[in-house]
Structure 1
Amino acid sequence: MPEKLPFEFLFTPEFSRDPYASYDKLRESGPVHPIDFPPGMNAFLVVDHELGRAALNDPRLSKDISAFGAYFRQFAGDDDILFQSNMLQVDPPDHTRLRRVVAKDFTPRRVEALRPRVQEITDELIDAMEMNGKAELIDEFAFPLPIIVICELLGVPAEAREQFREWSGLLVTPAFDQEGTARRRGAARNINAYFADLIAERRAQPRDDLVTALAGSDELDERELLSTLTLLLIAGHETTVNLIGNGVLALLRNPDQLALLRGEPELLPSAVEEFLRFDGPVERSTPRFAAEDVELGGLAIPRGAMVHISLGAAAHDPAVTSLPHELDITRQDNRHLAFGHGVHFCLGAPLARLEGRIAVGTLLARLPGLELDCADEELTWRLTGSVVRGLTRLPVRF
């Protein structure tokens, strides 16, 4: 068996800046590697595209965190329902039931109907930046756009958006000490209390929003309802923030591709798919657990072990992608796994694609001369150990 990767492997600033070089080295010695993450857990990291794709849809690898996720329950606490009772953390048939309740609101047709409103929000945000000639693109654009969209869909008032940003940031960041655990538990309690109040309000005075619709469903118990709303809020904006930020940065670092997209805006759909592959918003899938003894890539994975599938490593696997470290917005056979694969394929993929295309396309159309407003080496990334991959800030001028 290969030597176990240390816990710190995923948490250095160097790795967060460029995880793909590290994954290249790992892939040379095998498709699967034991890793001490979370610390003390029996865990494995998959860095191969085809094996990762198969693992994402392998019924022997469970998402049932109530049965196998003792580690998460220990640090999360009883109030942290993000780690239970939602479609991301269960297997069929519960997964099928929970997903069905929400799926009708995220069909391509329903999402397409949101296009005018997404365009309107995008234009309003650019209006606010345009006269300044510069902006911090994460705080002023990439974050507000998806959080406004998902909050409007849910029925969350505008004044709660910044608070939700703080809470969701804590919930997606691993906590390994008492202070971090306490902050995370506090965020969980706060978001539960907020949604509990909002559910009661909508039951008394229904509106045309998702909270009202889900609160009226007889297929969800109260914990499932709270957990599903929390998941929708977090998944509905955390990843799209990074899709926009990482995608714009990729263009600014590749001026030939930027010029090509400006000249041929019809390439936007394939460009967004390339952003998802080249530097996707989710670095690793949420963990799976071996429900039985499993063999992966020649390694014996014992029952109960945790399996991490690196979507970023899969996207840069030269066995399936030619010149994987080059940005090519005309790439056709784009087999990225940015939205996962199988029964847990991202429900919000159509909305993320719509927001990404409108956001990037409108930025390029309205802000000529868009370029970085800092040295490239000054850019900082959220630590990859938090699963999501995104910039902490992106200063630009135009």
Structure 2
Amino acid sequence: MTRRPEEPVAYPFEYSALAINEAYAKARDSEGMTLVQMPFGEPAWLATRYADARFVFGDRRFSRAMSVDRDYPRPNEYRLGDLGLMGMDPPEHSRLRTAISKAFSVKRVETLRPWVRQLAEQLVEKMLVQRPPVDLMEALAFPLPIAVICQLLGVPEADRAQFRVWSDAVISTGLGQSATMGEALGDLISYMSELVAERRETPQDDLISALIQASDLGQALTESEVMLLAVGLLVAGHETTVSEIGNFAYVLLDRSNEWRRLVDEPGLIPAAVEELARFVPLGTLARFPRYATEDVEVGGFLVRKGEAVLPCISAPNHDPRRFADADALCLDRTDNPHLTFGHGPHFCPGAALARLELQEVLRVLTVRAPAMRLAGEVVWKRGAQARSPLALPVEWPSDAADR
């Protein structure tokens, strides 16, 4: 096993819009793993190769629960307290995971497809009657995912706008925004705690009520765990899908031939969603470190007991050792086991829902706005954990709404 002493490299690497910093490729092509130092917390090894990252995600000798008691690497001063599902290891993690797995099973999510399609059609129709250019983010990317996840959780429609504010603050990586992040998370937790209490008194047909019922039937979820699951699902279910709708639209419209191909071959949409998920470097940094519970060999490199590893997603998704033409966008790619939704025990429980939303958005846009094109400067988010346009102006021929 290899092991080299070295000084840690400053991390995260410099941000760019939809490009992976060349430092990732350098780390990926170096021997072993690269030691990095976040602005706060202890150093960690950065896993940038596909095989290494997948191994760390899946091997149970790497612990997420140890992060709770460690000065874990992070981009800002604020330390999350109880991390809920993301701060647990099996078997405790399995108990909570089981409680939400039925709600997000592929079979159950598929029953939502007609409603999600109708919602996407309504939003696109409203967009098309406006005078272009129109901001696709405000017209479609922001409202659709928040409506879907809030509907599932049972959040009243009148409160949904506030969730966007809280979510944006909670996922910020800005070094001077710890107070804002902490305040937003506190407000979100308070709101969800009240909603959980209301649903215990008056159950409804929503996910929070289902989680409470699972607890009452003996699956041993505490009220705090129900609340943390709801908070985690809300933030993750909102932010990532919002970002990917904007990213996918930008990538396709920026490559007009690929957009035209998808318009002409709608059967490609499921494969295109997987390829775009692989191709787009969604995360601006690797996060959620795993701690070795014993000495572990990772791709011939020794990680000692107690050391942290940050498994990347974007860099491994472009690893030429695993993907042919790794830096090319191939909408019909078939061998595509990307890591965008993670791997192993912490594989994203909402992956099926995210895929469905992205498929339906692309389906509706290709049918209702096939001649859509970029219409001006794209403004990109800064200081967030997910790359995404903040504003994505688009336009279309005047007869587009009649098609």
Q: What TM-score do you get using the length of structure 1 for normalisation?
A: 0.90
Residue 145 of structure 2 aligns with an amino acid whose one-letter code is P
Residue 18 of structure 1 aligns with an amino acid whose one-letter code is A
The one of 385, 388, 398 equivalent to 2:386 is 388
Contact 1:382 / 1:391 at 8 angstroms: preserved in 2? no
Report the structure, 1 or 2, having the larger helix content: 1
User: d(CA) in 2 for partners of 1:18 and 1:237?
Assistant: 23
Residue 188 of structure 1 aligns with an amino acid whose one-letter code is L
| 1:339-354 alignment runs, 5 A limit | 339-354=341-356
State the 1:380 CA deviation: 2.0
Provide closer, same or farther for how the CA distance between residues 282 and 348 of structure 1 changes in structure 2, counting only shifts above 3 A: farther
User: d(CA) in 2 for partners of 1:27 and 1:330?
Assistant: 26
Contact 1:31 / 1:47 at 8 angstroms: preserved in 2? no
1:116 aligns with 2:114: yes
Contact 1:154 / 1:211 at 8 angstroms: preserved in 2? yes
State the 1:302 CA deviation: 3.3
Corresponding residue of 1:191: 188
1:294 aligns with 2:296: yes
Q: What do the CA deviations read for 1:320-363 (whole angstroms, capped 9, x no partner)?
A: 11111111101111121111111211111111111000001111
The one of 124, 129, 136 equivalent to 2:127 is 129
User: d(CA) in 2 for partners of 1:368 and 1:134?
Assistant: 15
Corresponding residue of 1:319: 321
User: d(CA) in 1 for partners of 2:315 and 2:342?
Assistant: 13
User: d(CA) in 2 for partners of 1:175 and 1:252?
Assistant: 29
Contact 1:285 / 1:340 at 8 angstroms: preserved in 2? no
State the 1:2 CA deviation: 7.1
Corresponding residue of 2:247: 246
Provide closer, same or farther for how the CA distance between residues 350 and 390 of structure 1 changes in structure 2, counting only shifts above 3 A: same
Contact 2:253 / 2:259 at 8 angstroms: preserved in 1? yes
Provide closer, same or farther for how the CA distance between residues 7 and 321 of structure 1 changes in structure 2, counting only shifts above 3 A: same
SS in 1 for 2:391: coil
Corresponding residue of 1:142: 141
Contact 2:8 / 2:43 at 8 angstroms: preserved in 1? no
SS in 2 for 1:295: strand
Corresponding residue of 1:152: 151
Residue 293 of structure 2 aligns with an amino acid whose one-letter code is A
| 1:141-220 alignment runs, 5 A limit | 141-174=140-173, 176-177=175-176, 180-216=177-213, 217-218=215-216, 219-220=220-221
Provide closer, same or farther for how the CA distance between residues 20 and 276 of structure 1 changes in structure 2, counting only shifts above 3 A: farther
Residue 303 of structure 1 aligns with an amino acid whose one-letter code is K
The one of 63, 82, 95 equivalent to 2:93 is 95
The one of 356, 374, 377 equivalent to 2:376 is 374
Corresponding residue of 2:47: 46
State the 1:193 CA deviation: 1.1
State the 1:106 CA deviation: 0.6
The alignment-based identity, stated in percent, is 37
User: d(CA) in 2 for partners of 1:226 and 1:64?
Assistant: 19
1:7 aligns with 2:10: yes
SS in 2 for 1:19: coil
Q: Any unmatched runs of 5+ in structure 2?
A: 397-403
User: d(CA) in 1 for partners of 2:251 and 2:114?
Assistant: 27
Corresponding residue of 2:19: 18
Contact 1:31 / 1:51 at 8 angstroms: preserved in 2? no
The one of 280, 292, 308 equivalent to 2:310 is 308
State the 1:139 CA deviation: 2.2
Residue 271 of structure 2 aligns with an amino acid whose one-letter code is S
Q: What do the CA deviations read for 1:33-89 (whole angstroms, capped 9, x no partner)?
A: 110124351211111011111111011210105654434799546xx55x42x2221
Residue 278 of structure 1 aligns with an amino acid whose one-letter code is F
Provide closer, same or farther for how the CA distance between residues 66 and 53 of structure 1 changes in structure 2, counting only shifts above 3 A: closer
Provide closer, same or farther for how the CA distance between residues 195 and 72 of structure 1 changes in structure 2, counting only shifts above 3 A: farther
SS in 1 for 2:96: helix
Contact 1:289 / 1:306 at 8 angstroms: preserved in 2? yes
Residue 121 of structure 1 aligns with an amino acid whose one-letter code is L
State the 1:392 CA deviation: 2.3
SS in 2 for 1:317: coil
Corresponding residue of 2:400: none
SS in 1 for 2:45: strand
Q: What TM-score do you get using the length of structure 2 for normalisation?
A: 0.89
Contact 1:240 / 1:281 at 8 angstroms: preserved in 2? no
State the 1:8 CA deviation: 4.9
SS in 2 for 1:34: strand
Residue 314 of structure 1 aligns with an amino acid whose one-letter code is P
Residue 139 of structure 2 aligns with an amino acid whose one-letter code is E
Corresponding residue of 1:397: 395
Runs in 1 of length 4+ with deviation above 6 angstroms? none
State the 1:122 CA deviation: 0.5
Aligned length: 386
Alpha-carbon RMSD: 2.3
Residue 386 of structure 2 aligns with an amino acid whose one-letter code is V
User: d(CA) in 2 for partners of 1:363 and 1:220?
Assistant: 41
Contact 2:196 / 2:223 at 8 angstroms: preserved in 1? no
User: d(CA) in 2 for partners of 1:205 and 1:9?
Assistant: 45
State the 1:246 CA deviation: 1.3
Contact 1:236 / 1:348 at 8 angstroms: preserved in 2? yes
Provide closer, same or farther for how the CA distance between residues 301 and 269 of structure 1 changes in structure 2, counting only shifts above 3 A: same
